[in-house]
């Protein structure tokens, strides 16, 4: 996202005064969708700017390889501020920096969320965001494997494949059996509602390869003459004239450039970079901007606020048999993948998932369970050399709220990310996650899984009264689902209105996970693609 100061562009004689109808900033889960949909009209010109490179690295397209992208050149590699409730750790937040954005390095799980999640959006942002209104968009964008025609809840023929895993690990099957032995039965299709149970995850893959938003939406549209895609294009400022967004300043290499938007500038840079770019451009909390010497163009106090994320914690064990997906690093696994698109390299890593209710007996399951047939340790930064397995619990209804802020007017400087994990006043977040970790331990002790495991690896040592607290405080991590920092709503305090237009600046929209007012009971890639599909219609209308 970030790169150049206004003065860099003003002084650079190589500035190119190009014009497009739409200028889209960020080629991630949402930006690829918008670029494709808006360029369907051949008389409409679209420029898509992405700070990162093309998505040519083979590790992007091999499903099980995505942790190897963490903290590398294709990752923004953010860290949070020190979290007081997580042993003052700075939690690692990977975010994709390439075509496809984080959809090019996620676990490919397609979990829409509960219908009531979207009805809650409608309460905040109007009836256009209700489940009834949004369901046709899900049906339009999905391509459900195994179905010949769509039904009431499953889409067929859309850009985004939703497929069964090609070759799930036998340890994942053991976890499903162990969950059943602890009273957690099979999970019905999550697209019909949200109930308790466990299942194999549905994934965005086709023939054993990842399908990102760039694969699904951008690649089929790239030959259009009215669509221009520029990678390595780091945007530093939105140009605002007389209260109207007219373009952006960006840099490619050492060359500062300015591009004008005849119709709109659209931010699709994500829940971290979109609010950062707004604030660096003078759109945000006036006291902060004034303190940093940034001219205040629009005093929007909630830019960067309302940050929500799914926190996850769990336990990892050694495995008795050498059957985990640690074998994905072998030559045999590579050959099997290349020849047959089978084996551990097709794994999405988090192969098993499920939903359970905490002791508070909520209306919806408020904890997600995850199973990885491998050692997923050190926030995914340690590539496993030994065989093992990991069980995790996810806090689906966080009460804690954090923020994204900026520390200087320099858009190259990393923003300050404070998710404020486990900071709710009543302590419900911590209590529920503790309960989730206990459920993970209970499943691990069930016969089908107990026969597969050896010692506890993370946290290491014996299982005792401290295991849960150590798991929570020392090893809890993000599930990579930040949302809410440019909240949409009908109230005057919201950052964007129900049509995703930034309040106080004309011809400027935000279309990405940052506009989601309340986090869903599921993973955030599906809702983000949905937001972009809906936004395309709002913009064209």
- What is the distance, to the nearest Å, from the Cα of residue 453 to the centroid of all Cα atoms in its chain? 31
SS3 11: helix
What is the residue extent of each domain of the chain? 166-200+311-397+422-475
**Structure tokens of 441?**
């331990």
Predicted local distance difference test score (pLDDT) of residue 6: 43
Block residue for tokens 């003078």:
282
H or E element in which residue 275 lies:
helix 270-280
| Spatial distance between the Cα atoms of 171 and 351, rounded to a whole number of angstroms | 10
Work out the burial of residue 250: count CB atoms within 10 Å of its CB; fewer than 13 is exposed, 13-18 middle, 19 or more buried. Answer: buried
Are 172 and 369 in contact by the 8 Å Cβ rule? The answer is no
Q: Which two tokens stand for residue 78?
A: 């953010």
The packing angle between helices 467-475 and 428-444, to 10°, is 120
Q: At 524, list the tokens.
A: 């955030």
Query: What are the angstrom distances between the C-alpha of 251 and each of 32, 276, 411?
Result: 20, 17, 12
Max Cα–Cα distance, the chain, nearest Å? 71
Closest CA to 511 of 310, 335, 311, 271: 271
How much is the pTM? 0.95
Domain at 166-200+311-397+422-475, CATH class: alpha beta
Distance CA 388, CA 9 (A): 52
Angle between helices 170-181 and 428-444 (to 10 degrees): 110
Determine contact, residues 418/405, Cβ cutoff 8 Å: yes
Task: Check 5, 154, 481, 521 and give the catalytic one.
Answer: 481
> Quick check: is 499 catalytic?
no
State whether residue 495 is helix, strand or coil.
coil
Are 486 and 275 in contact, with CB atoms under 8 Å apart? yes
Which residues does residue 22 pair with via DSSP β-bridges, in sequence order?
46, 264
Radius of gyration of the chain (CA): 23
Determine the pLDDT at residue 5: 44
CB-based contact 394:370 (threshold 8 Å): yes
Under a CB-based contact definition with an 8 Å cutoff, are residues 211 and 158 in contact? Answer: no
Residue 391 makes CB contacts below 8 A (sequence gap 6+) with 175, 314, 315, 316, 369, 370, 371, 372, 440, 441, 443, 444
Tokens matching residue 469 = 């607290």
For residue 443, give the nearest of 496, 374, 371, 513 by alpha carbon: 371
Cβ-contact 210, 341 below 8 angstroms: no
| Residue 132: predicted pLDDT | 97
- What pLDDT is recorded for position 363? 87
Q: How far apart are CA 41 and CA 537, in angstroms?
A: 12
What residues contact 389, with CB distance under 8 A and at least 6 apart?
171, 175, 316, 317, 319, 324, 371, 372, 373, 374, 375, 449, 452, 453
* Cβ-proximal residues to 361 (8 Å cutoff; 6+ apart), any chain: none
Instruction: Tell me the C-alpha distance between 181 and 439, whole Å.
Output: 12
Do residues 79 and 92 touch, judged by C-beta distance below 8 A?
Answer: yes
Q: Are 47 and 225 in contact (CB under 8 A)?
A: no
Of the candidates 206, 185, 409, 193, the one whose C-alpha atom is nearest the C-alpha of residue 290 is 409
CA angle 520, 524, 530 (to 5 degrees): 95
pLDDT, one tens digit for every residue, the chain (541 residues): 433 344 444 434 344 579 999 999 999 999 999 999 999 999 999 999 999 999 999 999 999 999 999 999 999 999 999 999 999 999 999 999 999 999 999 999 999 999 999 999 999 999 999 999 999 999 999 999 999 999 999 999 999 999 999 999 999 999 999 999 999 999 989 898 899 999 999 999 999 999 999 999 999 999 999 999 999 999 999 999 999 999 999 999 989 999 999 999 999 999 999 999 999 999 999 999 999 999 999 999 999 999 999 999 999 999 999 999 999 989 999 999 999 999 999 999 999 999 999 997 788 999 999 999 999 999 999 988 899 999 999 999 999 999 999 999 988 899 999 999 999 999 999 999 999 999 999 999 999 999 999 999 999 999 998 999 999 999 999 999 999 999 999 999 999 999 999 999 999 999 999 999 999 999 999 999 999 999 999 999 8
Q: How far is CA 496 from the centre of its chain?
A: 20
Strand partners, 372: 390
Chain length of the chain: 541
Helix intervals (H) in 54-169: 58-61, 115-125, 131-141
Count CB-CB contacts under 10 A for residue 323.
17
Nearest to 301, CA basis, from 282, 280, 284: 284
């Amino acid at each position: 996202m970030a790169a150049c100061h206004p003065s860099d562009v003003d002084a650079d004689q190589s500035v190119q005064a190009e014009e497009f109808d739409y200028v889209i900033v960020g080629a991630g889960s949402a930006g690829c969708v918008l670029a494709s949909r808006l360029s369907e009209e051949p008389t409409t010109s679209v420029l898509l700017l992405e700070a990162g490179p093309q998505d040519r690295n083979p590790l992007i397209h091999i499903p099980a390889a995505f942790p190897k992208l963490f903290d590398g050149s294709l990752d923004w590699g953010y860290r949070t501020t020190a979290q007081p409730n997580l042993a003052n750790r700075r939690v690692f937040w990977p975010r994709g920096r390439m075509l496809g954005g984080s959809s090019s390095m996620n676990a490919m799980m397609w979990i829409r969320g509960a219908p009531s999640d979207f009805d809650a959006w409608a309460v905040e942002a109007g009836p256009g965001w209700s489940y009834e209104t949004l369901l046709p968009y899900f049906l339009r964008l999905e391509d459900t494997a195994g179905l010949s025609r769509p039904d009431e809840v499953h889409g067929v023929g859309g850009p985004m494949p939703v497929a069964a895993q090609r070759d799930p690990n036998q340890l994942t099957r053991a976890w499903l059996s162990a969950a059943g032995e602890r009273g957690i039965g099979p999970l019905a299709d999550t697209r019909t509602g949200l109930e308790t149970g466990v299942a194999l995850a549905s994934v965005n893959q086709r023939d054993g390869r990842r399908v990102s938003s760039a694969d699904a939406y951008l690649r089929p549209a790239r030959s259009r003459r009215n669509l221009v895609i520029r990678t390595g294009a780091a945007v530093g400022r939105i140009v605002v004239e007389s209260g109207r967004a007219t373009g952006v300043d960006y840099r490619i290499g050492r060359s500062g450039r300015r591009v004008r938007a005849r119709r709109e500038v659209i931010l699709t840079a994500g829940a971290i970079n979109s609010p950062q770019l707004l604030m660096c451009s003078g759109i945000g909390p006036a006291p902060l901007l004034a303190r940093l010497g940034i001219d205040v163009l629009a005093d929007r106090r909630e830019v960067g606020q309302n940050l929500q994320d799914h926190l996850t914690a769990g336990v990892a064990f050694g495995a008795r048999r050498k059957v985990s997906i640690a074998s994905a690093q072998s030559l045999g696994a590579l050959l099997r993948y290349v020849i047959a698109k089978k084996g551990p390299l097709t794994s999405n890593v988090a192969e098993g998932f499920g939903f359970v209710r905490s002791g508070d007996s909520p209306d919806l399951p408020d904890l997600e369970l995850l199973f990885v047939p491998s050692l997923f340790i050190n926030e995914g930064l340690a590539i496993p050399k030994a065989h093992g397995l990991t069980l995790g619990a996810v806090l689906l209804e966080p009460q804690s709220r954090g923020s994204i802020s900026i520390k200087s007017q320099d858009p190259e400087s990393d923003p300050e990310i404070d998710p404020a994990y486990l900071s709710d006043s009543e302590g419900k977040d911590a209590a529920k996650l503790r309960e989730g970790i206990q459920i993970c331990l209970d499943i691990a002790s069930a016969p089908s899984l107990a026969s597969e495991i050896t010692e506890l690896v993370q946290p290491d040592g014996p299982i005792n009264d401290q295991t849960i607290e150590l798991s929570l405080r020392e090893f809890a991590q993000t599930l990579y689902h930040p949302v809410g920092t440019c909240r949409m709503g009908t109230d005057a305090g919201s950052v964007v209105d129900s049509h995703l237009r930034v309040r106080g600046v004309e011809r400027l929209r935000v279309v990405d996970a940052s506009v989601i007012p309340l986090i869903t009971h599921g993973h955030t890639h599906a809702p983000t693609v949905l937001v972009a599909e809906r936004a395309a219609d709002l913009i064209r209308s």
